[in-house]
Structure 1
Amino acid sequence: MNNSENSIKVVQDYFKAFQNGDIDNVLNLFHDNCLIVSVKDQEREKEQLHGTYRTKEEATQFIANIINLFNTKEFVVERVVGNENVVFANGKFTHEVKATGKLFVSDWTQLSIIEDNKIKEYRFYEDSAAFVIASEA
């Protein structure tokens, strides 16, 4: 398996673990010194989903925020492509916002940089305006 194929497999394993509810394996796929940017690269409150997370410990908070905010109705991975250690993925999802019961529907794009067979850098982009609307009571 070449470097590109290996990097793609790490990201595919991440999606598979998440879809199977295997949160321990999801977290295991993050590098100890990872960087996660959810929509915007800025500081955030602990329970706030969008913003910057650093380290595997904060990756745990990132996953907890997703689980605490949403009931996922559909999560589709349309493609995963990579070159060396850089992997792009995209798709669409439908989440029910737990606090409001409203649906949050969005296309998404993810950039991952793989190091030591782990996700070292993770950037996830979605329709944040749709999230705000679905979160309003």
Structure 2
Amino acid sequence: MENTKQNITIVQDYFKAFQQGNINQVLDAFHNDCLIVSVRDESRKKNQLHGTYRTKESAKQFLQNIVDHFNTEEFIVDKIIAENNVVFANGKFRHKVKATGKLFISDWVQRSIIENNKIKEYRFYEDSAAFVKASMT
């Protein structure tokens, strides 16, 4: 039970650092050999947001892609629950897409697997159709 609480705290701290704009602390939350899947598990171009990122080094690109694509107006974490080393979180956000000025509003869910007090696997799901719509000029 204590390990489960600790794993929840790791994810809570990740979100708190992200909301405070502390990118170094956000990056530090990831395991050196992490896997990040943003919406779909497939290869992607460097500046493409959705797709697969492997290793902590590519986590930097993931974070940069978020910053490059959006001005976040609201990011709400509704709930974080865990069983052992698997942590689920959900909420909603409102981003302004920088390229179009349009709002991208979505519910989201995230599944993290914690290993050695770091996020080893991170999968984030959102309304990708709403993203496409907000990205169209």
**TM-score bucket (shorter structure):** over 0.9
Q: Which runs of 5+ in 2 are unaligned?
A: none
Match of 1:93 in 2: 93
Q: Offset of 1:72 from its aligned partner?
A: 0.1
Match of 1:22 in 2: 22
Q: Offset of 1:97 from its aligned partner?
A: 0.1
TM-score, with structure 2 as normaliser: 0.99
Q: Give, as a single letter, the amino acid of the residue that structure 2 aligns with 1:9.
A: T
Match of 1:74 in 2: 74
Query: In the aligned structure 2, how far is the partner of 1:77 from the partner of 1:100?
Result: 26
> Runs (4+) of structure 1 moved beyond 3 Å?
none
Q: Between Structure 1 and Structure 2, how many residues are aligned?
A: 137
Query: In the aligned structure 2, how far is the partner of 1:45 from the partner of 1:105?
Result: 24
Query: In the aligned structure 1, how far is the partner of 2:121 from the partner of 2:40?
Result: 14
Q: Which runs of 5+ in 1 are unaligned?
A: none
Query: In the aligned structure 1, how far is the partner of 2:16 from the partner of 2:3?
Result: 20
The residue matched to 1:77 in structure 2 has which SS?
strand
Query: In the aligned structure 2, how far is the partner of 1:2 from the partner of 1:35?
Result: 25
Query: In the aligned structure 1, how far is the partner of 2:84 from the partner of 2:4?
Result: 4
Identity of aligned residues (%): 67
Query: In the aligned structure 2, how far is the partner of 1:86 from the partner of 1:3?
Result: 11
TM-score, with structure 1 as normaliser: 0.99
Query: In the aligned structure 1, how far is the partner of 2:47 from the partner of 2:2?
Result: 38
Match of 2:4 in 1: 4
The residue matched to 2:46 in structure 1 has which SS?
coil
Query: In the aligned structure 2, how far is the partner of 1:104 from the partner of 1:76?
Result: 14
Q: Offset of 1:112 from its aligned partner?
A: 0.2
Q: Offset of 1:93 from its aligned partner?
A: 0.2
TM-superposition CA deviations, 1:103-134 (whole Å, max 9, x none):
00000000000001000000000000000000
Q: Are 1:112 and 2:112 an aligned pair?
A: yes
The residue matched to 1:24 in structure 2 has which SS?
helix
Q: Offset of 1:51 from its aligned partner?
A: 0.2
Query: In the aligned structure 2, how far is the partner of 1:114 from the partner of 1:6?
Result: 10
Q: Are 1:42 and 2:42 an aligned pair?
A: yes
Q: Give, as a single letter, the amino acid of the residue that structure 2 aligns with 1:63.
A: L
